[in-house]
Structure 1
Amino acid sequence: MESEMKLDRWGYEVRTCSDACMSAIDSYYQQVLSYGRKRSVILDAPRSDPQCVLGNILAAHFLCSGDSSRASPFIDAAKSCLNHASSYEKAVFDVVLYFISPDRDDDLAVELHSKLLQDFPRDLVSLKRAQILCFYMGQPDLSLKLVEQVLPINGNENYIYSMLAFPLLELGRMEDAEKAGKKGYEINKDDPWSQHALCHVYQFDCRFKEAVEFMEDCARSWSSLSSFMLTHNWWHVALCYLEGKAPMTKVRDVYDHCILKELERSDAVPAEVYLNAVGLLLRVYIRGELHAFGDRLRFLANNLTNQAFWFLDWHFDILALWALSFTGEFTKAEDLLKGLNSRISVMSEKKRQLMLRGLSLAECLFKYGKGDYKQARESLGHEFDAVNFKIIGASDEQLEVFTEVYISLLLNTGEPTKAIQAIEKQLKRREGLPFLWCLLEKGFLMLGKGEEAEGCGKKARELEAAYFP
């Protein structure tokens, strides 16, 4: 096999005889970094050159996110041509092959990515792959270390600063995250990850009106985004309206016309839409506003009975358990919970110990949906800190709903003192959140502390009036 070497987007050598193959690889890079909905373009690479190692192994990785059995022919094709591949292709092949292995050790996978990025630091798609892995490991510190490793050589490269911003905000370094997000946005105003990072910062700081105006202005660039990124950005907008105590019609309009509407597209990925939809409705429910959404939760639950949507993502499964049990789909919810137990039982001991936390949260949401508050509370153990649950694949902002569930359970099971402690801990992080002051008011009322309750209620209403008057 003698093919010429071509250079990819990063300037690294790829052995291929086909310009079309190289074009497909570069287009795939762009789709990954921009959260595009056409990542399947990578399948054009092996079609154009069946002997290209890089095209085949990237196609295998893409297919592993669906039916993994479809990836095998591409892995075999890459292996058969490996001797003729460039050093860069061989490095990517080794890392991706291990990454998609069912027996993968996540720590080793991160180490392998770090070594790859030492040798080929311009490969931002491998950086992105590693960062996503770190996200599901619940280790933003590792994610930050990886991006800082390659930052000097990438200078003002597109997408690099949004990849810097996210682990910074997950580590609570909001000022640094905002600076990085703004730099990424200056380089490319259509970078959805920069937009998303800035929204995270504004939302955390309770700058709700600023966040909504910023994101609604950015929305013109979202039509080409994946189902997840499109609906997740709108989820943030809806949540800003909700947390800023805008009229519930604002939240519902975003839900109907910007999140659920994605399902009308022929290339939509329903599970990615449902994740953001049910995550929003759980927040609405905790705030006692679910009645404003009619039968929308029932519609979601009916779709979530489809087992094709199960076991794709722990965060999604946990939210689905609440939706199913709350709407009376107890048998389906029990089947989903049993399935999560089964999956934990075959994990390595190291992974199993981590995911037992996720299982406790799953059991809690199942019981919470049933209205069995005492047992739901017991599922979380003596202490609860959402930061320990990042391993379900959720950001700090997504995890906050489970803190709200925890506080709600404390209030509903007669533990107002403990609830007040949990609320005050949250207020140290987000003092401008009206809902926390409402919860604190309730806690003080339960203790018979009318004066303190009155002060909290007044603070809540002042904040509510300030954001969306």
Structure 2
Amino acid sequence: MENGSFKVDKWGYGVKTHSDSCIAAINSYYDQVLGYGRERSVIMEAPKHDPCCVLGNILAAHYISSSDPSRAPPLLEAAKSNLENASLYEKSVFEAVNYLISPNRDDDLAVELHSQLLRDFPKDLASLKRAQVLCFYMARADLSLELVEKVLPANEEENYIYGMLAFPLLELGRYADAEKAAKKGFEINSADPWTQHALCHIYQYQCCFKEAVQFMEKCSSSWGSLSSFMYTHNWWHVALCYLEGHSSLERVREVYDLHIWKELERSDSTPAEVYLNAVALLLRVHIRDAIDVFEDRLKILANRLTDKSFWYLEWHLDVLTLWALACTGEVSKAEDLLEGLKARLSKMSKKKRGLMQRGLQLAEALFQYGKGDDKAALELLEPEFDAVNYKIIGASDEQADVFNEVWIILLLNNGHATRAIEAIEKQLKKREGAVFLWRLLERAHTMLGRKEATSIGEKARALQNTYFS
């Protein structure tokens, strides 16, 4: 262990600083990151307490680079100028984070640098989380799982580790393993929102919607300090369970009003994170021909999304925004957003451009779908469309699944009932208890004049009656 002017952070790794307050700010930041807290700005205190601390400066630079990039360079320079005297741990974190926030980075190399860091310093769960977030936006759950499995032996009873293990397992379809990991994490810390979130995913996969709602609502008392994203995302899951479980639409609307939209009233909310969950829910409602129950809420949301400051933050939000704008008549604004996405794609490296091409195709399709041009929307997507291949926009399986529903509806609306049946049956193999899919299957067989439509309708009603009353 280093001594003298070196102190140790919560992982037990050496940090060159004279300031206990600097270390306290760093440790608090770790907790905020791993617990999805809304006080992540605490890391900005670390350089104030010790302007020469490499770890404090580089973590602060990473934090601020996403919200106010102009403030990052002085922090980076402070970290670089003191690098010679830093600990090996700090130098490793600096190398990984400095590359992560550099323009035109190669994502694979960014993951490799984090992998090297975690090999040498496996207790650093904040760096693991940072790397897993990167893997999520690369749609590489396999890499995410490799990273967490690499450090698991050093963290077998640690808080947060099992939620971080459960999520990539979910994304890889290993639901039994994911459930085991999530339950272990819940035993260690029942208030860990990421573990709660993983368990909710499992309930939804099993189509146990009532149980999911009961579980999440019981957990919700611990959500008050969560970031805007995590708070509204957990409630988005609750609303989705009400919707998929054929609960009263008023319950879905109540969750939207009281636990998603209301988050915007908080002075410390992050609106873009709220809008992502809000528009994702309203698309599901719209697909189910129930948007009228939400009155003018979609119009209000779309009006907020005409603000260009919310564009180009996340591909997922941009794709959903295109639908919302087009659907509410803001076609010229949607066209501006789409042209901007095309311009950004053209400036990417060849490798990145190839990966994101599908994201642009999905964006164009959602724009056409929002306008009501189902034929054009269908033609933009691959003949054997599967949303799992479009997660590069930054969406989980559960978030991306709505695009499978859009695909099926486009097939039906264009008269391709047989192809729709094939697509529906593929999805039912994953989630046999999804009532909405059975309703779509009934519609497809009805279009073809098949007598099976009657029994399929009965199946849907029987399933519906097993959920919410």
Is 1:456 aligned with 2:456? yes
The offset of 1:155, in angstroms, is: 1.3
Structure 2: which amino acid aligns with 1:52?
A: C
Percent identical among aligned pairs is: 67
TM-score, with length taken from structure 2: 0.99
Checking the alignment, whether the CA contact within 8 Å between 1:357 and 1:389 is kept in structure 2 is yes
Counterpart for residue 437 of structure 1 = 438
Counterpart for residue 39 of structure 2 = 38
The offset of 1:69, in angstroms, is: 1.7
Is 1:288 aligned with 2:315? no
Counterpart for residue 372 of structure 2 = 371
The offset of 1:3, in angstroms, is: 6.6
Structure 2: which amino acid aligns with 1:402?
A: F
Is 1:404 aligned with 2:405? yes
Structure 1: which amino acid aligns with 2:463?
A: L
The offset of 1:67, in angstroms, is: 2.0
Matches within 5 A, 1:90-105: 90-105=91-106
Counterpart for residue 185 of structure 1 = 186
Separation (CA, whole Å) in 2 of partners of 1:60 and 1:258: 31
Counterpart for residue 466 of structure 2 = 466
Counterpart for residue 304 of structure 1 = 305
Structure 2: which amino acid aligns with 1:368?
A: Y
Structure 2: which amino acid aligns with 1:254?
A: V
Structure 2: which amino acid aligns with 1:456?
A: I
Structure 2: which amino acid aligns with 1:457?
A: G
Counterpart for residue 328 of structure 1 = 329
Counterpart for residue 78 of structure 2 = 77
Separation (CA, whole Å) in 2 of partners of 1:135 and 1:242: 26
The offset of 1:381, in angstroms, is: 2.7
Q: Secondary structure at the match of 2:102?
A: coil
Q: Secondary structure at the match of 2:466?
A: helix
Structure 2: which amino acid aligns with 1:23?
A: A
Structure 2: which amino acid aligns with 1:124?
A: L
Q: 1:330-388: CA deviations, max 9, x gaps?
A: 11100000010011001111110110000000000000000000000011032201111
Counterpart for residue 243 of structure 1 = 244
Counterpart for residue 60 of structure 2 = 59
Structure 2: which amino acid aligns with 1:453?
A: A
Detail structure 1 runs of 4+ shifted over 3 Å in the superposition: none
Counterpart for residue 423 of structure 2 = 422
The offset of 1:390, in angstroms, is: 1.1
Structure 1: which amino acid aligns with 2:18?
A: C
Matches within 5 A, 1:20-419: 20-419=21-420
Separation (CA, whole Å) in 1 of partners of 2:344 and 2:7: 43
Checking the alignment, whether the CA contact within 8 Å between 1:279 and 1:319 is kept in structure 2 is yes
Q: Secondary structure at the match of 2:15?
A: strand
Structure 2: which amino acid aligns with 1:86?
A: S
Checking the alignment, whether the CA contact within 8 Å between 1:3 and 1:16 is kept in structure 2 is no
Structure 2: which amino acid aligns with 1:235?
A: W
Q: Secondary structure at the match of 1:104?
A: coil
Where structure 2 has 5 or more consecutive residues not aligned to the other structure, the ranges are: none
Structure 2: which amino acid aligns with 1:344?
A: L
The offset of 1:93, in angstroms, is: 0.3
The offset of 1:42, in angstroms, is: 0.1
**Superposition RMSD in Å:** 0.8
Structure 2: which amino acid aligns with 1:342?
A: A
Separation (CA, whole Å) in 2 of partners of 1:394 and 1:47: 36
Structure 1: which amino acid aligns with 2:135?
A: C
Q: Secondary structure at the match of 2:10?
A: coil
Structure 1: which amino acid aligns with 2:455?
A: G
Q: Secondary structure at the match of 1:320?
A: helix
Q: 1:218-261: CA deviations, max 9, x gaps?
A: 00000000000000000000000000000101100000011111
